[in-house]
Amino acid sequence: MRSEVTRLCLVALALLAGCATQTGVISTGQDAYMILKQGDGFWVSPSTLTAAVTDEASHHCARLGKVIKINDIREQKTGMRPGAYPEAEIHFTCV
């Protein structure tokens, strides 16, 4: 019984981990970048997506030996139309 519960928890975590699409870091100019992440359902919190893109942006700049300067962050909550899932978008520079 316990192993079944563990297995179900692992499957649920794997499904939740795959519940977002992301552009990755996109260059928008010299030392300027953006990242967009979209949840795959209404249950995904925009603030969770914002935290994820901010963390990835910070790590990207750290890999370059620089620090992040956030220029803009946008969140979009779910909409009533089909396919309108929550999103977070960050525009940043590495300085």
pLDDT tens digits for range 12-34: 433 344 455 777 899 999 889 99
C-alpha 23/C-alpha 53 separation (Å) is 10
Number of alpha helices (DSSP H) and beta strands (DSSP E) in the chain: 2, 5
Tokens at 59, concatenated: 């790590």
pLDDT in tens, 32-83: 999 999 988 778 888 999 999 999 999 999 999 999 999 999 988 876 666 6
C-alpha 22/C-alpha 16 separation (Å) is 14
